[in-house]
Amino acid sequence: MTFRCGTVALVGRPNVGKSTLLNALVGQKVSITSRKAQTTRHRILGVQTTDTAQFILVDTPGFQTKYSNAMNKMMNRTVKTTMADVDVICFVVESGYWSKADQEVLELLPKDVPVVLLANKLDVFASRADAPEDRDQKLFTFMREMSEKFDFSEIIPMTAKSQDDVKRLLTFLEPYLPEQEAIYDSEMLTDRSEKFLAAEILREKVFRYTGDELPYSSAVIIEQFKMDGKMRRIAATILVDRESHKAMVIGEKGAKLKRISTEARQDMEKLFDGKVFLETWVKVKSGWADDRVILREQGLE
């Protein structure tokens, strides 16, 4: 029986559901999600192995031009580099919606790599339609317009929250992978370390529980990660840009920071399948997003 193995890049503007899709394809949470744009900052690799193929899935940061600090320049460079070295690209957009930011990503797509357009969030699109026939006509029109913008290998409407859609996507992608043996062990889900995943889980909770109050300028640095018997002892610092941001994260009498830390610890225990002792601090470091030392500590350089 023929076995295929190759790399699939997930690219698109911020907030189109790339990280949710990666987690669905892998079958476990390996990339953080939130409704805030630019949640993903790193090149996250997930692995899905079936009886006939191994999909090496790469979730990239959402390409954006709004901010020009060192961190965003590094993330944009990551997107461009990733697209040049994969077997197939999944360009993720929101079903029925096209923006200037989508166009900017489209213009970066290489011409020598197959590109599959994923019209994601089909469930959201369908909920806006007055009737099924109205939805179908609008979706058909949208797909026709997309086909005129680029020579896509496939155009697939889907929702990452549907297991059937995710399975169908893997079936579509498999023929684009080269015939070769698996590169990773079949049990492997991601190439990222537990220390990295701990930082990402905590950062996700910061994003989720500060809502729109806290700007994009926050980061997490793991100061300590060690095993104490079967328990993981983790000390983490949440970096913010201003004193006012620190107050937002801590909350009244420390209530918000306690909730962030508690839920992060619970998620870590589920992922690591073991007890976690988590200590969390909040520190102000103005201009950290342009500090290459800090960016290097986060693995962004």
More confident residue, 244 or 84: 244
Fold (topology level) of 194-297: GMP Synthetase; Chain A, domain 3 (3.30.300)
CA distance 206 to 185: 33
Return the pLDDT at 36. 44
User: What percentage of residues in the chain have a pLDDT greater than 90?
Assistant: 46
Return the pLDDT at 56. 92
Return the pLDDT at 176. 97
CA distance 29 to 22: 8
CA distance 82 to 300: 14
Ranges 29-38, 79-88, 154-163: which has the least confidence: 29-38
CB 170 within 8 A of CB 25: yes
Q: How confident is the model at residue 40 (pLDDT cuts 50, 70, 90)?
A: very low
Domain-wise residue ranges, the chain: 4-176, 194-297
Q: Kindly report the CATH number that applies to the domain delimited by 4-176.
A: 3.40.50.300
CA distance 54 to 186: 8
The two domains 4-176 and 194-297 share their CATH topology (first three levels equal) = no
Return the pLDDT at 259. 95
Type of residue at 107: E
Return the pLDDT at 286. 73
89 by Cβ neighbours in 10 Å (0-12 / 13-18 / 19+) ranks as buried
Ranges 165-174, 197-206, 208-217: which has the least confidence: 208-217
Q: What average pLDDT does this structure show over 37-46?
A: 56
Q: What average pLDDT does this structure show over 185-192?
A: 83
Return the pLDDT at 271. 84
**pLDDT one-digit tens code per residue, 264-283:** 999 999 888 899 999 999 99
**pLDDT one-digit tens code per residue, 204-246:** 888 888 866 665 667 888 999 999 999 999 999 998 888 888 9
188 by Cβ neighbours in 10 Å (0-12 / 13-18 / 19+) ranks as middle
